[in-house]
Structure 1
Amino acid sequence: MISHDNQQALRNEIRTVKGHDGRPSHALYSVENYEHRDDTQSPYEILDITDGRRDLYIRYWIKLDRSSLTQPDKWRTFFEWKTKGYANGSGFRLISFIYTDDDGKPYWHWQGDRDPEHPVWEIDNRDIPVPMGEWFLTEFYWHWSEGKDGRALWKINGQVVGDHFGRTTRNHKPIDFIMLTQIYGNANPKHQWVDDIEIWDGLPN
């Protein structure tokens, strides 16, 4: 939901910026200055997926500001994918966050859950640095399964943040929608730039 307070709390626009390769590029710029009405967020999403694919791979370049990532004990989302039925409690969600600890040091958090209060599995990664104020490449791969062959893989600049094998859906539900990126959380103000999105129906060689 976009609760933007006349575009003062939240704004999205296409900007011409220096891209990750140093050349001018048209990137999606998003900023959340403050929370308005408890639900200020702006997902960049693909809705009403109907073909029931079991494999999905997404990669893009993203740049995040520094100031929101150095505030103590804060969080912001990164991406979010849901299967059908998640809203009524029968589905599955794959969601990632950037948390900051009590000293304001950011780290990655990733989980699969059946609702926000009940994770099925969780991964924290404090070893791979969270890039601040510079472009970085992010990659996600999801193979849906309720068995051991399920897989959820997340990489940052080629480094593995998490590689989960096992359950990646519930009740055989296929994917319903994808939030490619999301600007949401209590670390405000926060900014992000997104460019060069690729979507594949499987893990590239």
Structure 2
Amino acid sequence: MFTFNNSYGQGAKGSSKGKPAKPELIFQSGFEGTSKVIPFKGSDNDIIGKDTKLNGKNDWVADLEKIGGGQFNLQYTGGDSTKRIAQIIPEPGNIKNKVLMFSINDSWLASEGQQKARVQANIYGIKKGYKEFYQSVRMFIPADFNVLRSFPEPIKWLTISEFWNNEWWVSTEKYGFRVTLGIGKPKAEESDFNFILNGENAGQKEVWKADNTAIKVPVGKWFTMEYYFKDGDAQNGRFYMAITPQNGKKQVVFDVHNFTHNTTDMNSDGLTGYNPMKLYTSKELVAFGKAHNTPLRIYWDDFKLWKNKTPESQMANGKD
């Protein structure tokens, strides 16, 4: 995995000549070419290969892992392929395009001794924490996901990405912090989905919350999600997220300026792990989908990572 070292936060603002550093693509994949899911450790999987439809920065091992200090893999924390799976498949309705599918149709006894359900991409064990980075990925939520609109409670837990400024399950780590991005439903009555976001110290102690019920989660159409993460305190930390529905205009969903590391950490070493793509939720939500013969599925495509890129540099390049 690529390394954003502790000098990157300054380098993103400008070079030694005072000019802004040029955004640099680190990795990209549309899951084409020789990209494939293979067995990994235990019940987990990995992705290897190269997306030969793209020009460079397209190798899951040579570009995504060997350049720096993190390990990529696909994790389930238990279960088996009858309950959850991550697969590279032809896009439904467009067999010429390959996508990564996360699918869950049951729950299982997973981590923390809890019955729940998870499919996630990991980049963990980053030796030199990321001070800043920018990601984009296309996402498709199929129309049958709308069955969850009738779930008889508010939806507060359906995680689609998570950012760990020191993974708090590491026994020696006392400065754990995470930013969690999810899909929610604000009330028990049937309603649209919205994006939910919060930041927590270790022990799930909430530091800030930033739900947005005004912008709805697109269902039944592709949309691009863009994230920008900057390590910092209440004055300098930042988490930005925008969506662009296919054939639509970009919408800024969140632009939070607040802690992105533990509130007691006076010398943060940056993001040490994150889940760039994730589908993680409760046994109750999965059971509701199962009762309606509806597995929970998300399709992913066109995963890209950059350094030296910010929301402002995106606008300066006329791409906002």
Q: 2:241 aligns with which of 154, 158, 174?
A: 154
Check if 1:123 corresponds to 2:210: yes
1:113-192 alignment runs, 5 A limit: 113-115=200-202, 117-157=204-244, 158-170=250-262, 171=265, 172-186=268-282, 187-188=285-286, 189-192=295-298
Letter in 1 for 2:217: V
In structure 2, the residue matched to 1:33 is 105
In structure 2, the residue matched to 1:13 is 87
After TM superposition, the runs of 4+ consecutive aligned structure 1 residues lying more than 6 A away are none
Say which structure, 1 or 2, has more relative contact order (CA 8 Å, 6+ apart): 1
Letter in 2 for 1:191: R
Check if 1:99 corresponds to 2:184: yes
> Could you report, residue by residue, the CA deviation over 1:31-83 in whole angstroms, capped at 9, with x for unpaired residues?
11011111431111212212333111110100113235413223411100101
Give the whole-Å Cα distance in 2 for the aligned partners of 1:163 and 1:116: 25
Shift in CA distance, 190/18, structure 1 to aligned 2, threshold 3 Å: closer
Give the whole-Å Cα distance in 2 for the aligned partners of 1:83 and 1:3: 21
> Could you report, residue by residue, the CA deviation over 1:135-159 in whole angstroms, capped at 9, with x for unpaired residues?
1111110110125122110112121
Give the whole-Å Cα distance in 1 for the aligned partners of 2:198 and 2:221: 25
The Cα of 1:161 is off from its aligned counterpart by 1.2
In structure 2, the residue matched to 1:82 is 164
Check if 1:47 corresponds to 2:105: no
Shift in CA distance, 48/117, structure 1 to aligned 2, threshold 3 Å: closer
Which segments of 5 or more consecutive residues in structure 1 lack a partner in the other structure? Answer: none
SS of the residue corresponding to residue 252 of structure 2 reads strand
Letter in 2 for 1:195: D
RMSD: 2.1
The Cα of 1:86 is off from its aligned counterpart by 2.3
Number of residue pairs matched? 203
Counterpart contact for 1:68–1:190, Cα < 8 Å: no
Structure with the larger strand share: 1
TM-score by length of 1: 0.89
Counterpart contact for 2:128–2:272, Cα < 8 Å: no
What is the identity percentage for the equivalent residue pairs of Structure 1 and Structure 2? 21
The range that moved more, 109-118 or 56-65, is: 109-118
Shift in CA distance, 42/23, structure 1 to aligned 2, threshold 3 Å: closer
Shift in CA distance, 116/129, structure 1 to aligned 2, threshold 3 Å: farther
Structure with the larger helix share: 2
Counterpart contact for 2:165–2:260, Cα < 8 Å: no
SS of the residue corresponding to residue 126 of structure 1 reads strand
Give the whole-Å Cα distance in 2 for the aligned partners of 1:17 and 1:190: 16
Give the whole-Å Cα distance in 2 for the aligned partners of 1:152 and 1:44: 20
Which segments of 5 or more consecutive residues in structure 2 lack a partner in the other structure? Answer: 1-74, 110-114, 245-249, 287-294, 315-320
Check if 1:67 corresponds to 2:146: yes
